[in-house]
Amino acid sequence: MLPKLHLFNPTSDTALASGDINYRANGILQQFESDLAYLPAFFSILDDVILAEQAEPLSHIDLLSKLGFPTPNTITKKAFIAQTKAYEFSPWGWAPNLQQIWKSDTIADQLNIPKAFREIWSNETKLFYSRLTALKVLETILDRTALDCFIGTHQTPKALTDLQQVEMEHLRLGRMVLKAPWSSSGRGLLMLHQTTFNPHQTQRIEQILAKQGFIMAEHYFDKRLDFSMHFESDHQKIGFKGLSFFETKPNGQYQAQYLNGQKMVQSDALDYLLMHQNLIAQELVQAMEQQGIQSHYSGVFGVDMMVIKEDHTFKINPMVEINFRKSMGTVALAIENKIHPEAKGYMHLVVQNKQKFEWVYQSHVQKAEFCDDLIIKGTVPLVAPQGRAFGAYIELV
């Protein structure tokens, strides 16, 4: 098995939406990717390497090593091209602009790039990474089973192509959620509570329609719990990897990841989910394989879901969206292997431009405490805070 060459490129969703091989993120997003470049270290193994323009400070490497976390080396793009060692390229997410990394077949061979990614992406490939694939899987799940734990077939999203269709759907549903076909972490999302659109909402809808061609309209559910199931595809079959829980803001944007989340979100909604967990995972795998996900995608991916309340009864929306990439849930599952099973807490992302990571972390830092050689309490920075505008850290309470 080849060691992996990891790349943190969370702007892959935006690059996908553009479809441009020459896409470049804006300066702030480039800084975000640079500051958090070492994040894939936590799910790395053996001789894996991180592709980054700056090495992680030795003091932070030493800290992570003492805490039992993996500490792979970093390598710059220039240094990688200059050597001949072969790797399996493992970006955070696949996108057309990654082709700028392998401008020759020699480098593509060195990175073990699949044939599907060596060529400019087709519209069919781009659509696969959109919310339409999640819709197809959801429809397959609901068609396959008569189980009453899932939402109804009348509650599936719709792809709308013009403002008039959006207005008609709004009249039908009342409250609803609109989503850009290519977006992530709650961005590209618009919640409509009023009976009419205001000018800003109309403008936003028209922008999405103009740039992406259609928009997804969904029911507004009485959400009680956000969670993700994580899977891995090897081009032949799909395997279930684990369950994670996260927190969102009122506008639906991602806020934080729970660690050992079942201890953090104890509720009737959680009990309902755990009662159906194995069934949900089984139904998802069968529906995704029926839709041929495994033949289009290889690697780790996550499915966001929710437990909702409807007519005094819990239901499960088993397919809010598919993230064909790594996620903070991927990192959380890896970290949970290194913390005490009785520990509980959060994995925070610091993304506010007005509060630099270095300042935020210093105001929250608490000495790590151990039990049975595993962390049970305290804070740990996932990337070095010094000089970083953006960052991530765990907080066990």
Q: What is the pLDDT of residues 64-79, one digit of tens each?
A: 999 999 999 999 988 9
| Structure confidence at residue 219 (pLDDT) | 94
What's the CA gap between 229 and 227, in Å, rounded? 7
Q: Which residues, including other chains, have CB under 8 Å from residue 13's CB and lie 6 or more apart?
A: 93, 95, 182, 183, 184, 325
Q: What DSSP designation does 40 have? A: G
Position 231: which residue type? F
What's the CA gap between 140 and 127, in Å, rounded? 17
| Structure confidence at residue 56 (pLDDT) | 96
| Structure confidence at residue 194 (pLDDT) | 73
User: 3-state DSSP call for residue 194?
Assistant: coil
What's the CA gap between 345 and 396, in Å, rounded? 4
| Structure confidence at residue 308 (pLDDT) | 97
Answer whether residue 355 shows pLDDT above 70: yes
Instruction: Domains for the chain: give ranges and CATH numbers.
Output: 4-123 (no CATH), 130-151+221-323 (3.30.470), 155-219 (3.30.1490.20)
Element (H, E) at 104: none
What's the CA gap between 201 and 371, in Å, rounded? 51
Average of per-residue pLDDT across 191-195: 80
The chain-wide mean pLDDT, for the chain, equals 91
| Contact between residue 108 and residue 119 where contact means Cβ atoms under 8 Å apart | no
| Contact between residue 147 and residue 318 where contact means Cβ atoms under 8 Å apart | no
Q: Which of 393, 378, 382 is nearest to 343 (CA)?
A: 378
Is residue 185 very low, low, confident or very high in pLDDT (cuts 50, 70, 90)?
Answer: low
| Structure confidence at residue 195 (pLDDT) | 72
